């Protein structure tokens, strides 16, 4: 089913709001402001900004802004355009373009707008004030006036009470400055909410009350290095980021509301709560559009146990949308927008959520940068490893490009080149590599781009921007190992940076030759010794790997209740497990092969692994085997969380018929059959037999012999009967 709708049209979809006590009366839901780069005109500054207003019912009546403490000589306001409108009157969003002319003698522009009233909320907030303050000095690093942080939200944020963990807010700075998000000093902060000023992430600090909460934030940017600001009159000032008293270059206010809904049965993303899939851009991604050419953005979400009814979007005016319903609870949104001449060099925030009747996905926001010409995108080959990635950029795909003016996101990391390619290597925690949440993937991103020298006034080089990334699944279906054999796992935590694990099956106790991907599923015989190894790779030196648990399951679901513990709480549970000595970042062990009782012929192994820093007697690594883990002291700053990694499957094949008289033994929920010495040594990989045990062979053989005897008896009976009939017929003929 497809629908194509202008965002300025009414979306005739009524989403019920379970537990909501709010009436249909209009109310202020919030707003945001995004600035374009100020430019000079006849000695004065012209500053253009777009304001998005979120509300209930009627969003067409936006209040006007005024200059505060400065000599603004004129305001130009475009008509208000409604960009999002829910047919049930629960939310709407509108956008207006404003241009203000500022006297050349002013060093700062301060804008203000205020009004009434917030929608009914638990903080009892009523009046609101939107404010923006921009320093008009010319920066020494970019040779232009500072550009403000870019932010926005969808019109209505909502989350079930038991599922709220965080809201990632957009805080993009076009100049690459440091952005700090803070609760506004003159507004009430909702109870038990906290804000990470560095990442602009709203989290819970305790129980949160059902109902509507309203938030007022300020976003401020600060230079990452010393810069000089120069003003039209000739005055200048140096900004030092190390000085805590330095004022921000720009301050913008962000208002938004968050409705905490009643609890739902489960919070696993992709089930009742919608989850974005991998084709959806990551939070904070910077995308590029060309003036006068259609730009498309595709979003896909899934909710297996509920129905995604619509996508809520915060985007520019005159955007069209197509929504397509797929299988297994998926829904896809395609947004199309053609930037006009007035959008040139604009940084446009676009936010979106997937909506069901009872829940909402996470909010994701991206930034669309509008340029005059298409940016050159080179052809790159990317290789992903457990804790690093390499990129090789093909020179032939970028004719007339000066490779001496190319760099990674962090220019301190160098690029190399040969006759055909430009190459770079970087770990996931260095060279400006960014970690992003890609829904069902974790994405590590970097880019090769062109740069200018500080003393250059003009350039005639083409602009280059080549984005590249590595994606790793958050959850791995081990069934895919049949063809992919992906044994690498990548994780990131604030105290440890990026780190990864490899989980391999080896051929012998030397742990030097692994079983190759083409040999999966790995065929083994019962009681055969299996050799497995886990290796940790981390940015931090001197870390220690600890394997807290390993369990077996008959399928690729590590949460299957039908499981068998091999290692538990750091203690060896299976009597055949032997751990081999290795370096602190490796764990090599062996175990005799077993299979589950019942109609199962495969086994998967899932282990929980932890990394620790040395020097803490209370880290999990230092404490080893714990019979009572609930009483242990934790040193969370010195250890990572437990991460699950899985390997397998092992496919069981039967022994030869010559071993049919071997004794069968059943023990602890597994079937164990004695094996020959050569199988105990680990030999015999890759042989498959129709028979799965000696007992099966004997039963099958006996049945076959009985069938032959019965068949012989039947044949003999019918031959004797036929012979008697022929003799009688002959006697009758003679008589």
**3-state SS track over 51-97:** EEEEECCCCCCCCCCEECCCCEEEEEECCCEEEEEECCCCCEEEEEE
Q: pLDDT grade, residue 500 (50/70/90)?
A: confident
pLDDT value at residue 710: 64
User: Per-residue pLDDT for 270 more than 80?
Assistant: yes
Q: What is the pLDDT of residue 475?
A: 43
CA–CA separation, 26 and 119 (whole Å) = 7
3-state secondary structure of 656: coil
What is the tens place of the pLDDT at every residue in 524-570?
Answer: 988 899 999 999 887 677 788 899 999 999 887 777 888 999 999 99
Q: How many residues does the chain have?
A: 735
Between these two residues, 486 and 184, which has the higher pLDDT value? 184
- Please give the pLDDT value at position 656: 34
- Tell which wins on pLDDT, 308 or 448: 308
Predicted local confidence at residue 154, as pLDDT: 97
Domain ranges of the chain: 2-16+25-371, 380-473, 478-686, 693-735
Check pLDDT > 70 for residue 674: no
- Angle at the Cα of 255 from the Cα atoms of 259 and 176, rounded to 5 degrees: 120
Q: What is the rounded average pLDDT of the residues 460-468? A: 72
Sequence-ordered strand ranges (E) for 528-663: 529-538, 544-553, 564-568, 571-572, 578-580, 586-592, 595-596, 602-612, 643-652
- Joined together, the tokens standing for residue 612 give 């620790």
Distance CA 27, CA 190 (A): 19
Residue 494: pLDDT band (50, 70, 90) is low
Quick one: pLDDT band at residue 386, thresholds 50, 70, 90? low
On the question of a common fold for 380-473 and 478-686, the answer reads yes
Whether residue 19 is predicted with pLDDT greater than 50 in this model: the reply is: no
Mean pLDDT of 247-252: 97
pLDDT at res. 384: 77
- Report whether pLDDT(16) > 50: no
pLDDT at position 456 is: 61
215-229, 499-513, 687-701: the lowest-pLDDT one: 687-701
Tens digits of per-residue pLDDT, 356-374? 988 899 999 999 999 876 5
> Quick one: pLDDT at residue 25?
40
pLDDT of residue 630: 67
Q: Report whether pLDDT(678) > 50.
A: no
Q: pLDDT band at 632, cuts 50/70/90?
A: low
Q: pLDDT digits over 279-335, tens only?
A: 888 889 888 888 899 999 999 999 999 999 999 999 999 999 999 999 989 999 999
Most confident listed range (47-61, 126-140, 703-717): 126-140
pLDDT at position 565 is 93
Mean pLDDT confidence for 673-685: 33
Q: Tell me the CATH number for domain 478-686.
A: 2.60.40.4100
pLDDT at residue 353 in the model: 97
**Number of other residues whose CB lies within 10 A of the CB of residue 484:** 13
User: What's the distance, CA 261 to chain centroid?
Assistant: 24
Partnered with residue 150 across adjacent β-strands are 172
**DSSP states of 441-476 as a string?**
EEEEEEEEEE---TT-S---SPPBEEEEEEEEESS-
User: Which tokens go with 453?
Assistant: 């020298």
Q: Which CATH superfamily is domain 380-473 in?
A: Zona pellucida, ZP-N domain (2.60.40.3210)
pLDDT at residue 601 in the model: 80
For the chain, percent of residues with pLDDT exceeding 90: 41
Per-residue pLDDT at 440 exceeds 70: no
Kindly indicate the confidence band of residue 436, based on its pLDDT and cuts at 50, 70 and 90. confident
Q: What is the pLDDT at residue 497? A: 64
**Residue-averaged pLDDT of the chain:** 79
Residue 376's pLDDT is: 55
């Amino acid at each position: 089913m497809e629908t194509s709708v202008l965002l300025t049209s009414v979306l005739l979809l009524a989403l019920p709001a379970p537990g909501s006590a709010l009436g249909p009366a209009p109310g202020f839901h919030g707003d945001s402001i995004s600035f374009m780069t100020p430019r000079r005109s006849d000695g004065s500054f012209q500053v253009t900004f777009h304001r998005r207003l979120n509300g209930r019912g009627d969003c067409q009546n936006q209040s006007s802004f005024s200059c505060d403490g400065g000599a603004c000589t004129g305001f130009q306001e475009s008509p208000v355009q409604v960009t999002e409108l829910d047919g049930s009157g629960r939310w709407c969003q509108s956008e207006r373009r404003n241009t203000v002319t500022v006297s050349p003698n002013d060093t700062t522009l301060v804008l203000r707008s205020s009004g009434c009233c917030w929608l009914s909320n638990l903080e009892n907030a009523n009046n609101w004030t939107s404010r923006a303050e921009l320093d008009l000095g010319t920066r020494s690093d970019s040779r232009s006036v500072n550009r403000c942080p870019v932010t926005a939200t969808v019109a209505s944020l909502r989350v079930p009470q038991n599922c709220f963990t965080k809201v990632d807010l957009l805080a993009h700075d076009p100049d690459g400055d440091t952005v700090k998000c803070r609760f506004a000093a003159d507004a009430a902060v909702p109870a038990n909410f906290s804000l990470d000023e560095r990442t602009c992430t709203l989290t819970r600090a305790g129980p949160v009350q059902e109902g509507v909460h309203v938030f007022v934030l300020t976003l401020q940017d600060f230079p990452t290095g010393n810069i000089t600001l120069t003003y039209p009159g000739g005055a200048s000032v140096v900004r030092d980021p190390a000085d805590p008293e330095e004022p921000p270059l720009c301050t913008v206010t962000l208002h938004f509301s968050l409705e905490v809904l009643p609890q739902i049965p489960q919070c696993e993303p992709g089930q009742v709560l919608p989850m974005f899939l991998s084709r959806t851009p990551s939070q904070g991604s910077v995308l590029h559009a060309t003036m006068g050419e259609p730009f498309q953005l595709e979003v896909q979400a899934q909710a297996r146990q509920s129905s995604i009814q619509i996508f809520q979007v915060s985007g520019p005016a005159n955007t069209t949308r197509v929504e397509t319903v797929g299988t297994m609870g998926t829904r896809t949104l395609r947004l199309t927008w053609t930037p006009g001449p007035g959008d040139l060099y604009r940084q446009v925030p676009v936010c979106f959520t997937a909506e069901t009747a009872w829940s909402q996905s996470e909010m994701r926001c991206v930034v669309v940068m509008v340029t005059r010409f298409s940016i050159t995108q080179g052809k790159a080959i990317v290789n992903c490893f457990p804790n690093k990635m390499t990129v090789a950029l093909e020179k032939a795909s970028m004719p007339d490009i000066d490779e001496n003016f190319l760099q990674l996101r962090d220019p301190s990391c160098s690029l190399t080149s040969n006759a055909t390619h430009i190459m770079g290597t970087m770990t996931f925690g260095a060279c400006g590599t960014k970690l992003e949440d890609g829904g069902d993937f974790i994405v590590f991103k970097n880019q090769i781009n062109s740069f200018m020298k500080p003393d250059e006034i003009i350039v005639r080089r083409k602009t280059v921007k080549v984005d590249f990334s590595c994606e790793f699944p958050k959850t791995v279906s081990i069934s895919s190992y049949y063809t992919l054999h992906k044994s690498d796992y990548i994780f990131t935590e604030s105290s440890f940076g990026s780190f990864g694990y490899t989980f391999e099956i080896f051929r012998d106790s030397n742990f030097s030759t692994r079983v190759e991907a083409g040999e999966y599923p790995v065929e083994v015989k019962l009681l055969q010794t299996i050799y497995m190894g886990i290796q940790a790779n981390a940015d931090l030196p001197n870390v220690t790997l600890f394997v807290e648990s390993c369990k077996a399951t008959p399928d690729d679901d590590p949460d299957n209740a039908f499981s068998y513990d091999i290692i538990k709480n750091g203690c060896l549970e299976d009597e055949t497990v032997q751990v081999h000595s290795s370096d602190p970042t490796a764990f090599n062990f062996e175990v005799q092969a077993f299979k589950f009782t019942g109609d199962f012929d495969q086994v998967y192994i899932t282990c929980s692994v932890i990394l620790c820093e040395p020097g803490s007697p209370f880290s999990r690594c230092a404490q080893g085997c714990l019979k009572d883990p609930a009483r242990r002291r934790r040193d969370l700053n010195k250890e990572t969380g437990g991460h699950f990694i899985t390997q397998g499957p092992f496919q069981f094949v039967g022994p030869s018929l010559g071993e049919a008289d071997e004794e069968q033994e059943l023990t602890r929920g597994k079937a164990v059959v004695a094996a020959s010495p050569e199988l105990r040594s680990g030999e015999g990989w890759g042989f498959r037999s129709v028979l799965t045990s000696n007992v099966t062979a004997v039963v099958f053989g006996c049945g076959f012999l009985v069938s032959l005897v019965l068949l012989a008896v039947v044949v003999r009976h019918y031959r004797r009967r036929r012979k008697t009939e022929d003799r009688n017929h002959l006697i009758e003929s003679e008589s």
